[in-house]
C-alpha cells in the first residue's frame, strides 16, 4: 500500500475530456440535410385567408367563417397557427367575441 501513488492532475496536465452534450464536448457534428435527424420537410409560409380571398369585413354573424378560428375547447386560435395577418386577426378576435356575447359561438365546450 505504501507503493501506491494516487495521480492528481497538476497545472501542466490538461484534464481528460468528458463525453456528453454540446456543453461538455464543444460543437456538434454537422448532419446532412437528407439523413436522419435532419430537416424532414419544408414548411411553406402561411398566407392570410382574408387577404387572398379579399374579404374586407369580418361579420360576427358569419359563424361558418369564424368556426375554424376557434379551437375545440373554445379558445381563439393564434396567428402563428392559422397564418392570418395581424390586421385580420384583430378583426377576427373582435368578431368572435361579439359572436360569443350574443350566443352564436360557445365560450367553452362541455366535457
What CATH number is associated with residue 92? 4.10.640.10
Length of the chain: 111
In a 10 Å sphere around its CB, with 0-12 CB exposed, 13-18 middle and 19+ buried, how is residue 70 labelled? buried
Structural domain containing residue 92: 49-101
What is the pLDDT averaged over residues 57-82?
Answer: 93
Q: Is the pLDDT of residue 70 over 70?
A: yes
Which has the closest alpha carbon to 93: 61, 55, 66, 56? 66
Instruction: Tell whether 55 is covered by a domain.
Output: yes
The pLDDT of residue 110 is 73
Instruction: Tell whether 61 is covered by a domain.
Output: yes
Q: Is the pLDDT of residue 8 over 90?
A: no
User: Do 74 and 89 contact (CB within 8 A), yes or no?
Assistant: no
- Residue 62 binned pLDDT confidence (cut-offs 50, 70, 90): very high
Instruction: Tell whether 37 is covered by a domain.
Output: no
Instruction: Tell whether 54 is covered by a domain.
Output: yes
- Total domains in the chain come to 1
Lowest mean pLDDT of 41-45, 52-56, 76-80, 93-97, name the range: 41-45
Amino acid at each position: 500500500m505504501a507503493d501506491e501513488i494516487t495521480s492528481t492532475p497538476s497545472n501542466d496536465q490538461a484534464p481528460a475530456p468528458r463525453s456528453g452534450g454540446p456543453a461538455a464536448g464543444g460543437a456538434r457534428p454537422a448532419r446532412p440535410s437528407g439523413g436522419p435527424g435532419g430537416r424532414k420537410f419544408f414548411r411553406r409560409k402561411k398566407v392570410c385567408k382574408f387577404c387572398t380571398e379579399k374579404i374586407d369585413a369580418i361579420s360576427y354573424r358569419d359563424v361558418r367563417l369564424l368556426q375554424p378560428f376557434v379551437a375545440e375547447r373554445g379558445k381563439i386560435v393564434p396567428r402563428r397557427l392559422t397564418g392570418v395577418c395581424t390586421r385580420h386577426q384583430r378583426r377576427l378576435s373582435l368578431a368572435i367575441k361579439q359572436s360569443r356575447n350574443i350566443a352564436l359561438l360557445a365560450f367553452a365546450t362541455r366535457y
